[in-house]
Amino acid sequence: MSILVDESTRLLVQGITGGEGSFHAQRCQEYGTSIAAGVTPGKGGSQHLGVPVFNTVRRAVAESGANASLMFVPPAFAADGILEAIEAGLPVIVCITEGIPVLDMVKVHHYLRGKPTRLIGPNCPGVISPGRCKAGIMVGEIHLRGNVGVVSRSGTLTYDVVSQLTALRIGQSTCVGIGGDALPGSTFVDILQLFEADRDTEAVVLIGEIGGTMEQEAAEFIAHGMTKPVVAFVAGSTAPPGKRMGHAGAIITGSAGKASEKIRALSQAGAVIAPNPAEIGVTVKRVLQSS
């Protein structure tokens, strides 16, 4: 099995006719993902990449049977695009867009309450269930189908970890980039819960970074709600307080945001801490061999 996306996913690409949307939608198609439709306001009735393009998400869902959205909508309009996809009843939305205003995301979070939609991102590389479905911008060829889940705040580190795992012949069930913004649509706990419930995921790799308290919340869940082994790495041990490091959410504004505090919480919860990025793969291999 996998989480969020699989062989049954029929992807709707919002912003499919733009440069980024077109490029990555084609890469998803080449990987084997079923692209059911695209949405670009004003271009409804046309075709792009061999799929119909609609003016609205609701019309696209009704006519194409799409059940997930991949978004490449400019920051100023992305929140409206997310709201439109939620309103259309899509169960999964993957928003790649970076730079969405925080106030816009506050409104999105408010609208999401009580809805059956799972939002991944924004400012994320997406989701891939290797050999089944790719909904994002990651390079599909580095992935290998298997039983280790990956959830990460860092896109670049995700690619590095996946490459290590694949080189060791350790396949992945699903890899989820939750994004580096201060207000992501899904947290570590949200994704850990899905991996815990997935019968084919045997272990999980969690990649955190400085800023916020998501890693501490994940540690609480690992301690009390996770039965599967978790290997964790937290980036940013040498980051100076008060300086944003790459991601909008990667800024130390209190002691809880420090890498050392996050590592301590995860270790006390029972997660196995990888000593550095280059040893995440071998740490996972060791954990799998001992479990």
pLDDT digits (tens, 9 = 90+) for 60-76: 999 999 999 999 999 99
pLDDT digits (tens, 9 = 90+) for 25-58: 999 999 999 999 999 999 999 999 999 999 999 9
Please name the residues in contact with 257: beta carbons below 8 A apart, sequence gap of 6 or more: 210, 211, 212, 213, 251
- Asked about 109 being catalytic, the answer comes back as no
- The residue assigned the tokens 């909508």 is 73
The structural domains of the chain, ordered by start, are 1-122 (3.40.50.720), 138-291 (3.40.50.261)
The residue that leads in pLDDT, 101 or 252, is 101
Q: What is the pTM of this model?
A: 0.93
pLDDT digits (tens, 9 = 90+) for 75-127: 999 999 999 999 999 999 999 999 999 999 999 999 999 999 999 999 999 99
Cβ atoms 11, 71 nearer than 8 A: no
Q: Which residue out of 24, 48, 143, 247 is catalytically annotated?
A: 247
- Which of 83, 23, 77 minimizes the C-alpha distance to 69? 83
Cβ atoms 66, 36 nearer than 8 A: yes
pLDDT digits (tens, 9 = 90+) for 224-235: 999 999 999 998
